[in-house]
Amino acid sequence: MIKRKTRNLNSVFNYLLSRNFKSFVAPIENQKGNYYLMPYIENLEMPREQKMRDLIIFLALLHNKTTYFKEIDPDYYKEIYEELKEKADYAKKYYYDLINYIETEIYMSPFEYLLARNINKVLAATDYALFVLDMWYEKISTLKKVRTVTLHGNLELDHFLKNNEGFFISWEKTYQGMPIYDLIDLYNRHWQEFDFVDIFDLYEEKYPLREEERLLLSVYLTIPKIINIDFNEYEICKELTLLLDYLYKTEEI
C-alpha cells in the first residue's frame, strides 16, 4: 500500500522499538518525497467485539511500555481546568437559555417537546461534569508531574489489524500525553456499538488509571455536546435523541 506522507514517523517507531513495543506497521523503507510504501498485513475476519477487546489489550500494552512521569509547567493543569470549565459552563448556559425560550412557546415543536421532557438530564450532566472537574482540580493541586505515554492519537477499530499478532496503523497523529486521551477518542467513535464498561475494565486490568486520570476522563465524557438547531426538525430531533442516548450510556462508565 502507498500512503501520502504527512509527517516523518521514523523517530516514533524507533522510540517504540526501544521500549520493546513492536505492535505497529512501519514503512518498508525510508521513502523520499511525499509518499511511503506500507507492507501488506493480513487482517483476520473476527467478531468486532472480540477485535475491540484485542485492541484495548494492545493499547494498554502501548501505554504501559511508554509510561514516564513528566515535570509540568505550573499552569498545565490550570489550563485544562479553565478550558473544561468554560466548555461545561457554556453548555449549561446554552441549554438553560434554550429551554427558557422554549417555555415561552404556546405550541412546542417535536424537538422542543423532546428537550423540555429531558432538559433535567442534560443540565444534570453539566452540573456533574463541573462537580467532578472541581474534585479533579483539588486532587491534582499539589502534583508537579503528569503520567505521560505515547498516544496513538487517531484510535478507532479500523486502525487496528489482528492476525496472530496485533498491529496499530495510521500513526500520523501520534503524540505524548495522558493515557485517557486515547480512551476518549475510542469512546467517542464507538460508544454506540460496544459496552465500554467491560472494555474500560479490561484496559484497567492491564493498565490501571490513577484516580485523577479517572476523574478527568469522566469530565471529558460527560460534558454534553452542543446541538446544532439550524437543521430541519427531523435532523434536530435525531441529534437530540443521539445526545440523550449518549448521556444515558455514559452514566454507566
For position 142, what pLDDT does the model report? 92
For the stretch 139-181, pLDDT in tens is: 999 999 999 999 999 999 999 999 889 999 999 999 999 999 9
Strand pairing class (35-37; 175-177): unpaired
Handedness of CA 194, 200, 206, 207 (dihedral sign): positive
Res 2: pLDDT: 44
Entry pTM? 0.93
Q: Which domains does the chain have, with CATH numbers?
A: 47-253 (3.90.1200.10)
Q: What's the mean pLDDT in 113-126?
A: 98
Which among 221, 216, 217 has a CA at the least distance from the CA of 243?
221
Could you tell me if 169 and 43 are in contact, meaning their C-beta atoms sit under 8 angstroms apart? no
Rg of the chain's alpha carbons, rounded to an integer?
21
**Bridge partners, 161 (sequence order):** 167
Spatial contact of 65 and 19, defined as CB atoms under 8 Å apart: yes
pLDDT tier for residue 1 given thresholds of 50, 70 and 90: very low
Copy the grid coordinates of residue 135: 474534585
Give the DSSP letter of residue 158.
Answer: G
Sign of CA dihedral 88, 93, 98, 103: positive
If you average pLDDT over residues 205-217, what whole number do you get?
Answer: 99
Half-sphere CA count of 198, side-chain side, radius 13 A: 9
In tens, the pLDDT along 241-251 reads: 999 999 999 99
pLDDT in tens, 38-86: 667 777 899 999 999 999 999 999 999 999 999 999 899 999 999 999 9
Q: What is the separation, in whole angstroms, between the first and last Cα of the chain?
A: 38
